[in-house]
Amino acid sequence: PTPIRREDYRPPDWLVPAISLDFDLDPARTVVRARLEVTRNGAHDRPLVLDGAGQQPLAVRVDGREVNDWRQQDGGLVVPLAGEAHVIETEVEIAPETNTQLMGLYASGGLLCTQCEAEGFRRITFFPDRPDVLATYTVRMTADRETFPVLLANGNRTGAGLLDDGRHWAEWHDPFPKPCYLFALVAGDLQANVGGFTTMSGRQVELAIWVREADLPKTEHAMSALKAAMAWDEQTYGREYDLDLFNIVAVADFNFGAMENKSLNIFNSRYVLADPDTATDADYDAIAAVVAHEYFHNWSGNRVTCRDWFQLSLKEGFTVFRDQGFSADQGSPAVKRIEDVRSLRASQFPEDAGPLAHPIRPESYLEISNFYTATIYNKGAEVIRMMATILGPRSFRAGADHYFMRHDGEAATCEDFVRAMEFGAGVDLSQFRLWYSQAGTPRVAARLTADPGGGRATLNLAQSIPSTPGQPDKQPMVIPLRLRLFAWGSGAAIGEEQLVLLDTPEKTIVFEGVGERPVLSINRGFSAPVIVEADRTAADLAFLSRHDDDPFARYEAMQQLMLDTLIERVSTGEADHGPVVAAVADTLADPALDRAFVGEAVLLPSESFIGDGMLVVDPEAIHAAREALRRDLGRKLESEWRAALADGADAPFALTPEAKGRRRLRGIALGYVAASEAKDGGAIAFRQFERADNMTDRMAGLVTLVNLAADEREAALDIFYNRYSDDALVIDKWFSAQALATRDGTLDEVIALAKHRDFTLANPNRARALIGAFGVNQRIFHAASGRGYAFYADQLLALDRLNPQTAAKLLPPLGRWRRFDEDRAALMRDQLRRIVDTPGVSKDLFEQASKSLE
Ligand code: B3K
Ligand code: ZN
């Protein structure tokens, strides 16, 4: 297959200002009639080329007359046209019920729905399937009244009626021109939770969350998140909603989180449905974040869209940044920042350090679906955040205002965004643009030396950017580092916080008037997505974990102390746990800290993150070292953990930040009590599991038990399964909990679970719950026998036949062979080769596997 390149972008030859679609809906056979008004774009004599995939044209008409001088090419349609403007009509037949890719029009749990981003619309009808072709849509749907009583599309409903054959119809019109990736329709037996919102200019908007009737009670949280998000975007960015109606529909089979179709967002049901009995606090938070994210796309994505898919981070990075800001303002900004950095490090850093590394604005792709990555989304958000840090809040807002005003109704580029920021703020971001073109996580070495006798200290900073595929040499980037010094004796801050822009390979900063022994706090708030290598001793880190006034830096000092200790133990077989135990004890004892922060701070780095810090990952040694430290912490602080476990345990369920913080810490404390190997560990976990009045506490009990050899383990798994056997989203948790267990025997259990009657690769949530979770379970996935790799490749190949996009998304763990010993690397490569050599393998999976072999 030939790659698509960014540099080859050309404006479209033909524009389509308006399209009318007529759907005769039926799961087995849906007829789609399309009427496109096309106009020639510029002076040329090229034919009209419409994309298509898998359909046969039943009829093609130009200006009302049937023609036959068209031809098919790569699944699409080429139609020669003589004039400047024409009306093209086509008719095709599609079969939603056999669509297992879940792209285009498909069936899910008795309803029909669409997913078009990135290139699903071409599976519905012939059209220029590219984001810079913007049309107004008029959509008529006809369907059986009993099976599909609700018919929804973008915009407003302009008409509806009954037909005499048990069918009915509805017509919708969306006045905002949009690219076809934002088209959507839904037909099904749904009920709505209806709400209202008055916008800042006083317009009434009807809000509706559509679900199966039985799920209605689980939609309140999503509804209140939607209202909060609408208000937040008005207050924070001055962005108001622009239609009279905003619909959200929950579907059970969905390739990712949700989709921002204009005024008809379609969601994976896991990001809509919640009640205390079935959703954890993390689920509640994720629902609010995704609801907000999709809503925010109405401006950052829909009103201003992307010119081409290389600009994906223009909408995704910015919208993630916006949803992170929203979530921070809804709860604790410090804890939100810690969570976001943890997930960046868990998913984006390894991507940036591996064979699939790419800049946030890639240069080429085989399959665009493979570029909905942590780099585009999360590193993209970090790049926007750095601009906000460098510009300051007022200038950043001025830049954003200018961007929205200047490009409203357009398909824009990342360059347009940076230019709007420069214009709004009056700054020059020339060198900063390297963040868009250079891949790889920069490293910053920091060395602070104090003059003997005190008075002056010198900070030497040096940056380096590792080579990544296709980019052996890198230019120095602009790295904004928030930093501050603290006095060792008193713990007091020395001077104000500074923002240093490291924009040269090296930089020296001199501090005057510092005392005897200043301690460096750097990259506070994680002001840049870099790896800092500061030469700080265990004592310095322990000091910062007690005294730093930046909560992120305080957390970070503790993490670094834990990481240094663990890596020392992995490499030498021993390490002094004393400083970690003391720092954890002090953090637990500090009444000024909120419990959610304490929970984050006392959590050990994950096994994968420890591996990322090593030259060659040794999964067994890492597991052993981490378990040893967990056991020590569990034993030495046993009474503290038991106290945390009791704190708020009897209070009735509440969803306040305080209650959530306590539950979080309780779950972590339970893990430490179990790790201490206390005799009653299993019993305590089982009691919490059984008595819980909410899923967070119940799940904490289950996850703890799943890792124990205790008798209670099987009992808890059975009770949980029987209690929730009708609730797919909860059964996903049951699969995941087992796939994430690190105890011996997990590999065989996962292989057996793949044969469980409730396991299916056809549902992406279920596939991710078992196979996806297994892939990130470092110790088990990397079993020295290679059986984990072979099982994984089998599952990916089976999934690929149904749903290439979801299969390809799961490939990366198999591609990280360079990070492992030769034996494991060879076994991993064997499986990658097997995938690449499989006849009929999808372009999606092929791209990921072949790039991973290079
Ligand atoms: N824009 C969609 C993602 C589409 C993924 C297509 N492979 C959801 C989001 O980012 O909001
Ligand atoms: Zn998005």
Q: Output the CA angle 284-288-291, nearest 5 degrees.
A: 135
Indicate the CATH number of 305-437 among 1.10.390.10, 1.10.3720.10, 1.20.1260.10, 2.160.10.10: 1.10.390.10
How far is ligand 1, taken at its centre, from the CA of residue 74, in Å?
25
For ligand 1, atom 3, which residue shows the shortest CA distance? 259
Q: Which residues surround ligand 2, an ion (CB under 5 A)?
A: 316, 319
Nearest CA owner, ligand 1 atom 9 = 259
The CA-based diameter of the chain, rounded to the nearest angstrom, is: 95
294 is catalytic: yes
Q: Which residue has the tokens 């006809």?
A: 142
CB atoms inside a 10 Å sphere around CB 259: 25
- pLDDT of 651 strictly over 90: yes
Q: What pLDDT does 489 receive?
A: 87
pLDDT band at 838 (very low <50, low <70, confident <90, very high): very high
Distance CA 447, CA 465 (A): 18
Can you tell me the distance from the alpha carbon of 533 to that of 543, in angstroms, rounded to the nearest whole number?
Answer: 17
Contact between 126 and 279 (Cβ < 8 Å):
no
pLDDT (mean) for 86-111: 98
At the topology level of CATH, where does 446-533 sit?
Answer: Immunoglobulin-like (2.60.40)
Say if residue 721's pLDDT is above 90. yes
Q: Nearest CA to 246 among 150, 356, 152?
A: 152
Task: Please tell me which residue in 91, 117, 119, 294 is annotated as part of the active site.
Answer: 294
Q: What is the predicted pLDDT for the residue at 114?
A: 99
pLDDT digits (tens, 9 = 90+) for 232-274: 999 999 999 999 999 999 999 999 999 999 999 999 999 999 9
Percent of the chain residues topping a pLDDT of 90: 98
Residue pair 126/50 in contact (Cβ under 8 Å)? The answer is yes
Question: Which is the closest atom of ligand 1 to the Cα of 258?
Answer: 8
In the 8-state DSSP scheme, what is residue 677?
T
Superfamily (CATH H level) for 725-854: Peptidase M1, alanyl aminopeptidase, C-terminal domain (1.25.50.10)
Tokens 């490293």, located at residue: 443
Ligand in closest contact with the CA of 372: 1
Q: Of all helices (H) and strands (E), which one includes residue 156?
A: strand 156-162
For residues 487-510, average pLDDT: 96
Which pair of tokens denotes residue 382? 């970090």
Q: What is the pLDDT of residue 196?
A: 98
Mean pLDDT of the chain: 98
Bridge partners of residue 242, in order along the sequence: none
Q: What is the pLDDT of residues 605-616, one digit of tens each?
A: 999 999 999 999
- In angstroms, what is the C-alpha Rg of the chain? 28
pLDDT beyond 90 at 515: no
**Has residue 516 got a pLDDT over 90?**
no
Determine the atom of ligand 1 nearest the C-alpha atom of 316: 10
Q: Which residues contact 589 (CB under 8 A, 6 or more apart)?
A: 640
pLDDT at 693: 97
pLDDT of residue 710: 82
ipTM of predicted complex:
0.99
**Which pLDDT score, from 0 to 100, does residue 454 have?**
79
Average pLDDT on 625-629 reads 98
pLDDT band at 566 (very low <50, low <70, confident <90, very high): very high
The upper half-sphere exposure of residue 687, i.e. CA atoms within 13 Å in the direction of its Cβ, equals 11
State how far the Cα of 360 lies from the Cα of 313, in Å rounded to an integer: 6
**H helices present in 548-594, as ranges:** 551-572, 578-589
- Residue 1 binned pLDDT confidence (cut-offs 50, 70, 90): confident
Over the stretch 518-546, which tens digit does the pLDDT of each residue have?
Answer: 999 999 999 999 999 999 999 999 999 99
Cβ-in-10-Å burial (0-12, 13-18, 19+) of 18 comes to middle
Question: How far apart, in whole angstroms, are the C-alpha atoms of residue 151 and residue 58?
Answer: 25
Q: How confident is the model at residue 222 (pLDDT cuts 50, 70, 90)?
A: very high
**Residues 99-130 pLDDT 10s:** 999 999 999 999 999 999 999 999 999 999 99
pLDDT: which is higher, 454 or 470: 470
Determine the Cα–Cα distance for residues 460 and 631; give it in Å rounded to an integer. Answer: 38
Name the residue ranges covered by the structural domains of the chain: 4-189, 305-437, 446-533, 639-723, 725-854
Nearest CA to ligand 1 atom 2: 259
Q: With b meaning 16 or more CB within 10 Å and e meaning fewer, what string describes 811-837?
A: bbbbbbbebbeeebeebbbebbebbbe
- pLDDT for the residue numbered 111: 98
Task: Specify the pLDDT at position 680.
Answer: 96
CATH number listed for the domain at residues 4-189? 2.60.40.1730
Q: Which residue CA neighbors atom 1 of ligand 1 most closely?
A: 259
Name which residue sits closest to atom 4 of ligand 1, judged by CA: 117
Number of the ligand closest to the Cα of 320: 2
User: What is the C-alpha separation between 669 and 126, in angstroms, rounded?
Assistant: 57
Please compute the mean of the pLDDT values over residues 537-561 and round it to a whole number.
Answer: 97
What are the pLDDT digits (tens) for 753-783?
999 999 999 999 999 999 999 999 999 999 9
Looking from the CA of residue 301, the nearest atom of ligand 1 is: 1
Over 90: is that where the pLDDT of 452 sits?
no
Name, in order, each residue with C-beta under 8 angstroms of 439's C-beta and a sequence gap of 6 or more.
352, 357, 358, 359, 375, 468, 469, 471
Which band of pLDDT confidence, cut at 50, 70 and 90, is reported for residue 453?
confident
Domains 4-189 and 725-854 belong to one CATH topology: no
Q: Ligand 1: residues within 6 Å at CB?
A: 117-118, 256, 258-260, 293-294, 297, 316, 369, 372
Q: Which is the closest atom of ligand 1 to the Cα of 377?
A: 10
pLDDT tens column, 170-209: 999 999 999 999 999 999 999 999 999 999 999 999 999 9
pLDDT at 753: 98
Q: What is the pLDDT of residues 783-810, one digit of tens each?
A: 999 999 999 999 999 999 999 999 999 9
